[in-house]
Structure 1
Amino acid sequence: MWSRASSYGCSSSRMAQETESRSTTKQHLAPLKVFIDLCLKEKTLDNFLTYFLWWVEQRKSSIHLCCKKLKIISMPMDNIVKVLSKVQLDCIQEVQVSCTWNLSTLATFAPFLGEMCNLQRLVLFPIHVSAFKKQEEHHIVQITSQFLKLGHLRDLHLGSPSFLEGHLDQMLSCWLTESDLTHLCQNPDISQLKSLDLSGVSMTDFHPELLQVLLEKVAATLQELDFDVCGITDSQLEAFLPALSLCSQLRSFSLCGNLLSTAEMEKLLRHTAVLPCLRQERYPAPQETYRPQGVPLEARLAQLRAQLLEILRDLGRPRIIWISLSPCPRCGEAVCHHMEPIVYSCPSPA
């Protein structure tokens, strides 16, 4: 703080220099952070909060209003918006909503939620869902799209998550961490698992051995396995192939949308050839079938299909496999499901 001590006897030039110095210093000062925990429990803003927000607004260039804990008990959304528009949302670490909202209200709140990039704990009381849920699909999309931005969220309590039916993957797809997968492997009930769908979960940086341990735990019961668009690499696939070949009950396996080499694809086909129940196999087109810009090469793709068919003949077991491009050249989706299958049928004995 600059002291306003009198400077009698100073020359006008010296006073001008001091004024300029103070101005320069003021420009380089970081904004003052004012911390407050907010509990919004009245229908209207009380006198203190009204004045406080006005005070912050008058000094918005030099004051940052920070809040670590936000609790909403009862307040109309327009007043909540007034409050949150003054707060540095990236400071908020905990939010508790203790009133029942409908999907429209939650969708209005969602953009503010999406800016709380350091949020660690979120508690939502039951959300009222209209009987005409189909008409509120756009609200659900608005909500789930913001949840995906909460990379630090570790504690989530939803009073009635039924509104997320069919949309949970959109909300949680990028939240699974290596630590989460480790805990999953340690769960004593994991050995009874029949279906495992981790599609869309980025596992590029996961230790390869982790997927091996996971598949070993579920090998006796697993029937469906989906690793689509997981960023799985050759080294990771190499690590869990022996465990995959132990999944004797596996019926469906999908690995589309991952960038693998042709050599690793051949190893994959040889390991899965021993699985007696496997009927549906979906694999990605290897890296060699794309130009550097990601455009598929038709000639190489045809050559790949012929090469894989020859491998199937060599293995001598009837199989049908689908090879998918990524992204789809027709619709731009992450995985193309329009390709013709590669079919090998054992020749009938003479």
Structure 2
Amino acid sequence: MSFQDSPTLLSLAVQSLLKNEALAISALQELPRELFPPLFKAAFTGRHTKILKAMVGAWPFPCLPVGALMTVPDVTILQAVLDGVDMQLTRNFHPRRRKLQVLELRNVQHDFWDVSAEPEDRDSSAETMCEKQIPTRPHRYALRQRLKVVVDLHLESDLEEHQIYFLQWAQERRSSLNMCCVKMQISRLSMNIVRKVLKIFQPHCIEELELTTGWTLSTLACFAPCLGQMKNLRKLFLTLVPKKLFKLIWMSTNTQEKKVTKFISQFSKLNCLQHLHMVGLYFLSGHMNELLRCLKTPLEFLSIALIKYSQSDLESFAQCQSLHHLKHLNLSGVILNDLSLVPLRTFLENVADTLKTLELEHCRMTDSQLSALFPALNQCSQLIKVNFYDNDISMAVLKNLLHHTAKLSQLTFESYPAPLECYEFDFVRPEKFVQLSSELKDILCTVRQPQSVSFASQLCLQCLQRCIYDLETRLCHCWQ
């Protein structure tokens, strides 16, 4: 009778071993492999750290996806697991005879703990399930032989206890382990600390980097070579939050130009980049063409927001071949009211067959500018989301806009600004807002059947809230 046929017997065997730690540890070398996953999971839940440590040291499968069990950070459990890895390192295992090849510390869904595979399937299923989710492009044969530790990191200014412990442990063992961080989020850490963290991990393993910082242009230029080493980076989120307003002042000097060029040039090395999101990089103004020329692969998502665009910056979009299959465009916060939007219209026509989301919130577009985009919008048949909040548009042009969306049958989320006629001395008139928003929604319903549509006023300067009209009317706090 197999264990699969007798889950009660399996449970009894596991509980019996947990009650006698010494027996469980001594029996690991003779324990059937089918008992390892349920015993490990039970020991993990019951916080039997000695058994956990010993089981990691004797793990009989290529992969240990322990991160799927660590939904809540626990430094004691983490220490037991890492002590087990140390047991693997200190034993005289030949790399080809060592069973454990991948320690998966990421908190991701994993079927390993739920699948009762046959013994002959366990190795291949565990290895396959893990390896599909991690980079497999080591650049040296030696790295392929090392035990691989895979993790996601979210580091802020105050590191948590389990993060400090792990980073210290990893730093001390980086020469004997293949340390891989797939998703790295760093917020408001000094350049010195970031460099130390990056030295621990193989840069080619980083697929997603999210960096929120108050660094100056000089510091970003120093960081640039680190970015250029991330050959397999697919997603980059970079947000610059200047500590002082004077850092937003751009004065063109040869030194500054060289630093901008040093930063931008690293993008030519990111051969897998598909998702680029940058906010507040004020120094990119006037350098958009230079940046877009560096892109080597087609982007799916582009957001370069909260900076001042020049006319040439806008023109560079239509000229960039890497953007011709774009699916998501976000220019929120880019003030466009003093620019010609003809280049943007040309660009939207270029991506009409692929574009799915268009975010033009807080661009301060005028009637004539938005009207210039109508022919292109009418062609964007794949759009599922549009956002035109915080643009200065009249009732007549909004009506025209809604009529131009008649063929956009896939639109699911629509956000439109309240018409200018709703305001008096820059303050919204609630009764007028409700009346005109209702009228616009009725017009839209005659054109097609919208799924989720809203009309919103500008932010109230007193309470910083909007008046929103969708399924119900929600006025800002000042009018409630």
TM-score by length of 1: 0.53
Find 2:222's aligned residue among 116, 120, 125.
125
Which digits, 9 at most, give the CA deviation of each residue in 1:198-220, with x for residues without a partner?
00111111113122111101101
Residues 1:324 and 1:157: Cα distance change in structure 2 (over 3 Å): farther
Aligned to 2:71: none
1:104-119 matches, cutoff 5 A: none
1:307 maps to what in 2?
A: 439
Output the CA distance in 2 between the equivalents of 1:254 and 1:308.
Answer: 16
**Whole-Å Cα distance in 1 between the matches of residues 356 and 417 of structure 2?**
20
Indicate how the Cα distance of structure 1 residues 180 and 151 shifts in structure 2: closer, same or farther if over 3 A, else same.
farther
Q: Of residues 289, 296, 305 in structure 1, which corresponds to 2:428?
A: 296
Whether the 8 Å CA contact 1:123–1:156 is kept in 2: the answer is no
When residues 268 and 156 of structure 1 are mapped into structure 2, their CA distance, relative to the original with a 3 A threshold, is same
When structure 1 is superposed on structure 2, of 147-156 and 223-232 the one drifting more is 147-156
Amino acid in the other structure paired with 2:377 = L
* Secondary structure of the corresponding residue to residue 157 of structure 1: helix
- The whole-number CA distance in structure 2 between the counterparts of 1:321 and 1:264 is 17
2:322 to 180, 189, 201: 189
RMSD over aligned CA atoms reads 3.7
Give the 3 Å change call, closer, same or farther, for CA 321–191 of structure 1 in structure 2.
same
Higher RCO (CA-CA < 8 Å; seq separation 6+): 1
Partner of 1:170: 280
In structure 1, the partner of 2:65 is none
Q: Which runs of 5+ in 2 are unaligned?
A: 1-189, 195-212, 227-239, 268-275, 283-305, 473-480
Instruction: Summarize the Cα distance change of 1:328–1:275 in structure 2 as closer, same or farther, 3 Å threshold.
Output: same
8 Å contact from structure 1 (residues 145, 171) kept in 2: no
Q: 1:157 aligns with which of 232, 256, 262?
A: 262
- Which of 449, 452, 459 aligns to 1:320? It is 452
In structure 1, the residue matched to 2:334 is: 201
Matched with 1:227 is 360
Within-5 A mapping of 1:256-275: 256-275=389-408
Corresponding residue SS for 1:256? coil
Whole-Å separation in 1 of the counterparts to 2:415 and 2:329: 15
Partner of residue 19, structure 1:
none
Deviations 1:194-249 (A, max 9, x none): 01000011111111312211110110100011001111111011111111010011
Distance 2:329 2:358 in 1: 5
Over residues 41-100 of structure 1, what are the superposed CA-to-partner deviations in whole Å (9 max), with x where a residue is unaligned? xxxxxxxxxxxxxxxxxxxxxxxxxxxxxxxxxxxxxxxxxxxxxxxxxxxxxxxxxxx9
Q: Distance in 2 between matches of 1:281 and 1:227?
A: 12
Aligned counterparts of 2:331 and 2:315: Cα–Cα separation in 1: 14
Offset, 1:285: 0.7
* Residues 418 and 437 in structure 2, CA contact (< 8 A), matched pair in contact too: no
Per the TM alignment, residue 281 of structure 1 is displaced from its structure 2 partner at its CA by: 0.5
Shift of 1:156: 4.7
- Structure-1 separation of matches of 2:441 and 2:222: 55
The 8 Å contact of residues 204 and 230 in structure 1, kept in 2 or not, is answered as yes
1:286 aligns with 2:419: yes
- C-alpha separation in 1, matches of 2:263 and 2:463: 35
Shift of 1:143: 4.2
Answer whether contact 2:191 2:219 (CA < 8 A) is retained. Answer: no
In the TM superposition, 1:338-349 aligns within 5 A as 339-342=468-471
Higher Cα Rg: structure 1 or 2?
A: 1
One-letter amino acid of the structure 2 residue matched with residue 181 of structure 1: L
5+ residue gaps, structure 1: 1-99, 114-120, 129-139, 344-350
- In 2 relative to 1, CA 109–248 (structure 1 residues): closer, same or farther, beyond 3 Å? closer
Q: Which residue of 2 aligns with 1:249?
A: 382
After TM superposition, give the deviation of residue 145 of structure 1 in Å.
4.8
Distance 2:251 2:418 in 1: 31
Contact conserved, 1:148 with 1:174, CA < 8 A, in 2?
A: no
Q: In the superposition, relative to structure 1, how do residues 122 and 339 fare at CA in structure 2: closer, same or farther (>3 Å)?
A: same
The amino acid across from 2:281 in the alignment is M
Secondary structure, in 3 states, of the residue corresponding to 2:454? strand
Are residues 220 and 330 of structure 1, via their aligned partners in 2, closer, same or farther at CA, if it must alter by over 3 Å? farther
Call closer, same or farther: CA 1:108–1:194 in 2, change over 3 Å: closer
Equivalents in 1 of 2:214, 2:415: separation in Å? 40
